[in-house]
């Protein structure tokens, strides 16, 4: 049972957001976090000649989607590590929900989308686990007629 299989990968973007939200001020305002997330991080000229501007918020959403993909792959696992991962994912979602509702720095669309991805991770884990458990206890044809 490795640490990779137990801890939810969605922890990475949530910790990154927390560091960015709390950096500089203990109780940052929504406007300060929004301004920090909307600064230009990278600008790329695309083939049409337009500038594609990437902000820290965009990069964090992309990182979250990347982590969600691997979390969904992990949700197909069975055993104690998978159950612990589902439990930790639920705790992580609850922490995100509390942060979103209680702290100004987390009342942004970026954090809301990350929180929704954490919810999708929780739902996918439980749905896959229930579906596989139901398949394991299914009764074959002709038994119990």
pLDDT in tens, 62-111: 999 999 999 988 888 777 888 899 999 999 999 999 999 999 889 999 99
Sequence spans of domains, the chain: 8-132
End-to-end C-alpha distance for the chain, whole angstroms: 42
**Considering the entire predicted model, what is its pTM?**
0.84
Q: Give per-residue pLDDT as tens, 107-129.
A: 999 999 999 999 999 999 888 87
Task: Specify whether the CB–CB gap between 93 and 122 falls below 8 A.
Answer: yes
């Amino acid at each position: 049972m490795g640490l990779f299989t137990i801890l939810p990968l969605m922890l990475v973007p949530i910790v990154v957001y927390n560091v960015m939200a709390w950096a500089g001020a203990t109780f940052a305002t929504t406007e300060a976090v929004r301004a920090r997330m909307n600064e230009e991080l990278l600008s790329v000229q695309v083939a049409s000649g337009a500038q594609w501007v990437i902000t820290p918020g965009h990069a964090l959403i992309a990182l979250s989607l990347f982590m969600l993909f691997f979390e969904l792959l992990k949700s197909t696992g069975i055993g104690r590590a998978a159950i612990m991962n589902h439990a930790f994912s639920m705790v992580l979602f609850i922490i995100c929900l509390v942060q979103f509702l209680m702290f100004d720095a987390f009342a942004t669309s970026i954090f809301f989308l990350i929180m929704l991805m954490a919810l999708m991770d929780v739902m996918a884990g439980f749905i896959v686990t229930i579906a596989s458990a139901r398949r394991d206890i299914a009764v074959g044809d002709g038994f119990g007629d």
